Amino acid sequence: MPAISEKQILEALENVMDPDLNKDLVSLNMIRDIRIDENNNISFSIELTTPACPMKEHFRTACTSVIRERLPEAGDITVNLPARVTSGRSCGHSEEKTNPLPDVKNIIAVGSGKGGVGKSTIAVNLAVSLAKNGAKVGLIDADLYGPSIPTMFGLENKRPEIVNKTIVPIEKYGVKLMSVGFLIESDNPVIWRGPMASSAIKQFVTDVDWGELDYLVFDLPPGTGDIQLTLVQTLPFSGAVIVTTPQDVALADVAKAVTMFRKVDVALLGLIENMSFYLLPDGTKDYIFGKGGGEKLAKAQGMTLLGSIPIGSIVREGGDSGKPVVIESPGGEAARAIESSACEVARQISIRNAAACAHRN
């Protein structure tokens, strides 16, 4: 039996394309650690740009098939899928801004045009989904006047440690957390003018020991106020995720949020339509708040529709009990939709990061 060479394997894998980047895996330098034993058993790694890559199983199947086709003498084929999350800033993206978080690869804003659309629920479950996939994730509750992160993680009475005048974020479900709700009593309102609120948010960035993170998610207040402007002027955001419901009044306000992010040069990663439908016991869908509004808005604004999340008691119960739906009911319709949306967010960031590197090179 003729021995298979590493060169032959690479030549075969040159036929597997990354559909997002329109290049083959070998040209993208994604193939690592090729090993061939005396029985022509092959193992190698495809280094993904995010552990939440939605294409991982496609790559595994495509690589296995092309090797079988071109090298029929191959024995067992093992494809490993490690991930090294990329950052566009390392290739020049957003380098015009001083970055106070050099160890954070990607910063994501989750915003909405109005309150009541489930923005915090989406932000929490996105962060937890990314962490479940193996990413290092942080989440900042930037809604100072209505902090909900402590409740949604079941941490209402927790207080962060302070070490050498630096706040150590509380961690749960693999996500590092910071919220004003950890610093005040739950029944005490935050009565701050805009400059005080903006200063507090800056401290969540500079005075917290975030360490190395692949993604830092900001749960923004609804609307387009001082806190949003302070953050986008301070940090090099990788992009923003907009949350809406199908209702016309929500969609009208979303357009304002979209305009704000574009005016301050923050890329729009896409739109998530929350409360999209109610799944009836017989499997049919009841579009309580209307149908297709998010998709129409995404097309009109030139945005990607990242996902449509159903409405249901299990999502609400998860937020109240401190167990996000992707933890409490990972096989359910809502959890699968959110996890798919998280993969799409990671995918959009990877595409932007690759484009930033290609532009610089």
Lowest pLDDT segment from 33-37, 72-76, 229-233, 264-268? 229-233
pLDDT at 97: 57
**Top-confidence residue, 360 or 257:** 257
**Which amino acid, residue 353?**
N
Query: How confident is the prediction for the chain on average, in pLDDT?
Result: 88
Question: Per-residue confidence at 326, pLDDT binned at 50, 70, 90?
Answer: very high
Say yes or no to pLDDT of 224 above 90.
no
pLDDT at 94: 46
pLDDT at 93: 46
Question: What average pLDDT does range 129-148 have in this prediction?
Answer: 91
| pLDDT tens per residue across span 157-197 | 899 999 998 999 999 999 999 998 888 766 555 555 556 77
pLDDT at 82: 93
Say yes or no to pLDDT of 145 above 60.
yes
| Sign of the torsion formed by the C-alpha atoms of 90, 96, 100 and 101 | negative
Question: Per-residue confidence at 81, pLDDT binned at 50, 70, 90?
Answer: very high
Say yes or no to pLDDT of 278 above 60.
yes
Ordered structural domains, the chain, with CATH: 6-80 (3.30.300.130), 88-360 (3.40.50.300)
Q: Residues with Cβ < 8 Å from 263, sequence gap 6 or more? A: none
Say yes or no to pLDDT of 38 above 50.
yes
The backbone torsions φ and ψ at residue 39, rounded to the nearest 5 degrees and listed phi first, read -100, 15
Say yes or no to pLDDT of 52 above 90.
no
pTM above 0.85, yes or no: yes
